[in-house]
Structure 1
Amino acid sequence: MAYGKKRANTTNALFTLWGVLVFAFLFTPIAVIVVYSFNSGRVLAAWKGFGFNAYVNAINNDIIVSSVITSLQAAVGSALLATVLGTLGGIALARARRGAWWAAGLTGILALTLVTPEIVDGIAFLPWFVTLGVDAGIGPFNNGLVRLIVSHAMFSVAVVTFIIRARMAGIDRSLEEAAADLGASPWHAFKDITLPLAAPGVLAGGLMSFTLSLDNTILSSFVQQPGYTPWPVYIFSSVRVALRPEVAAMSTVMLVLTLVALGVVGLVLRKSGESSTAIIKTMAGS
């Protein structure tokens, strides 16, 4: 028995060590970028001393600031659009009758968007926007920011839908049915019962859509227009020459913003009475 206990302890120690190595492999490059954002040199890879010059230079660089603002605007816009569409789709799928043909079809279409390579999406979106904006004369589709918002939202709406469907699938429908029995209209039942129940999934889906938009490079490079270059595309073009510490500095700032948004959503979910396990499941869409 002592041998079995010792073997179990050794196995647990090995799994713990493996987990530490995996996390170190994943997050060490991020830590390196954060450290080198304080590099006083002109080239990122050549450490010349500790300082805040990179942050000052990044803030004073109009091109960098413009690309970051474009990325944030596109991320907020796509998150709002994807959250609205994903909320409606997720609730509809969760409340669909078993074997409904439209639910199976919608699930298949959404699943297809998740596995479609981004380069295929980019090739498809570009002529579509040209057709709508130039040939059909629909003005908004000639705007670079609108193109980014629509394309990013269509890319992430499936993620939002599945997160909200997972959230609503485990919730009893008796509350909604009771509201209907008491005379509530479908709109009031949705607004006062269904939407508050789905709120944790809505928040998680919105955050996921926001982060997916921030780091979208391939799709953005296809649909962008002059004056609306997002941050990932700017970084990609900078790599061809030489990465400067300003890029690491602004990337660190955006990382902090993302972590703050994640913390806010976790706090909201915690205040809504969700357990830690439920929060993780909601964020993962399971």
Structure 2
Amino acid sequence: MTALNERPAVGTADAPGASAPEIRPARKSASDIALTVWSVLVFGFLFVPIIVIIIYSFNTGRLLVAWDGFGIDAFLTIFQKPAIQNAVMVSIQSGIIAAFIATTLGTLAGIAMASRPGKWVGWFLVLLLLVSVTPEIVDAVALLPWLVTLGQDFGLTLFNNGIARLVVGHTLFATAVVSYIVRARLAGLDAQLQEASADLYATPIKTFFKVTLPLAMPAVLAGFLLSFTLSLDNTIVSAFVQVSGATPWPVYVLSAVRTGLRPEIAAVSTLMLLLTLIALAFVAFVLRRAGDSATQIARTMTGN
């Protein structure tokens, strides 16, 4: 009787040769399908124009709007026009310098907000938020007379230099971005690590370089690269503060559009886009090597 009671029932999943119940995939609802279609339309609206510019950068025609054939003539033209080379070099130089300054100031601000919380942090975040949300046209209109006053009335010739003006204008917004990113990186870290360093008789400066800065380094590097990419496409501020002989690439494109958009403009834009994507991919790679998940990478990149 015991053996009979222990035999598996016929037709159950435990019986020999019994098949597992078939799991049918859930059918998508109408709302899911509508959201999918809407997402495809939004991404198409955002990225199709960029894809078109990339394709037309290989146009051999005289103007961008007229397709004559496929070739790399537009890319070769870059090396034949000093004006284009100068505009690209001005953008790269000002972007690198602005990124260094913004990263230095933003890193110090982000570490201070994360390690020394208090009422002042709220007020400081408000100031950073004002810098972030203020329209660029307002910043540009305010910067231009101020830089002219410093350069002419106060005799500070540094502010008569085109690169210096661009660096000042680009650093303002980039510093706020770096501050958000570094603060977000250090906000969830254990403060006892710094206390342990102090218990081991490390000076504050040594603790900063041996403990705090290495912990924040992925965010610092991310902030540097983001600052550089933000500087490359800053058009409004650059158009106001730039001087003759130091025209950055976005301003050059803006003036070139008035006389007709040529394929070499699209070619350089394609190269700048590639440079930006490489920088962003490197940021994601560094954060991934630091152990961050995809969600944490997105939060770090947005400063949340």
TM-score, normalization by structure 1: 0.94
CA deviation profile, 1:143-166 (whole Å, cap 9, x unmatched): 110110111001221111111111
Would the aligned equivalents of 2:107 and 2:179 in 1 still touch at CA under 8 Å?
A: yes
Aligned pair partner of 1:58 in 59, 75, 78: 78
Please give the alpha-carbon distance, in whole angstroms, between the structure 2 residues aligned to 1:106 and 1:11.
Answer: 43
In 2, Cα distance between the equivalents of 1:118 and 1:280?
25
CA distance in 2, matches of 1:53, 1:147: 34
2:44 aligned partner = 24
Long gaps (5+) in structure 1: none
Tell me how far apart the structure 2 counterparts of residues 242 and 56 of structure 1 sit (CA, whole Å): 19
* Paired amino acid for 1:179: S
2:66 to 38, 42, 46: 46
CA distance in 2 between counterparts of 1:152 and 1:197 reads 27
Q: Is residue 169 of structure 2 the alignment partner of residue 147 of structure 1?
A: no
Cα offset, 1:187, TM superposition: 0.7
Matched ranges for 1:1-286 at <5 A: 5-6=26-27, 8-98=28-118, 100=119, 102-286=120-304
Q: Quote the Cα distance in structure 2 between the aligned partners of 1:165 and 1:50.
A: 48
C-alpha contact 1:200 1:282 (8 A) present in aligned 2: no
State the distance in 2 between where 1:173 and 1:190 align. 12
Which amino acid is the alignment partner of residue 14 of structure 1?
Answer: A
Distance 2:258 2:38 in 1: 35
Find the residue that maps to 1:60 and give its secondary structure: coil
Q: What's the CA shift for 1:5?
A: 4.2
Q: CA deviation at 1:129?
A: 1.1
How many aligned positions are there?
Answer: 282
Q: Which moved more, 1:122-131 or 1:241-250?
A: 122-131
1:136 CA displacement: 1.2
Aligned mates of 2:53, 2:173 — CA distance in 1: 28
Which structure has more helix as a fraction of its residues? 1
Shift of 1:11: 3.5
TM-fit CA distance, 1:63: 0.3
Deviation at 1:96, TM superposition (A): 2.5
Unaligned runs of 5+ in 2: 1-22
Q: How far has the Cα of 1:10 moved from its partner?
A: 4.3
Q: Which one has the largest radius of gyration?
A: 2
Amino acid of the residue matched to residue 278 of structure 1?
Answer: Q
Using the alignment, how far apart are the partners of 2:279 and 2:158 within structure 1?
Answer: 29
> Equivalent pairs: percent with the same residue?
53
What CA deviation, in whole Å up to 9, does each residue of 1:82-135 have, x standing for no partner?
Answer: 11110011111112233x2x3222211111111111111111111111121111
Task: Provide the aligned C-alpha RMSD in A.
Answer: 1.8
Q: Please give the alpha-carbon distance, in whole angstroms, between the structure 2 residues aligned to 1:5 and 1:258.
A: 40
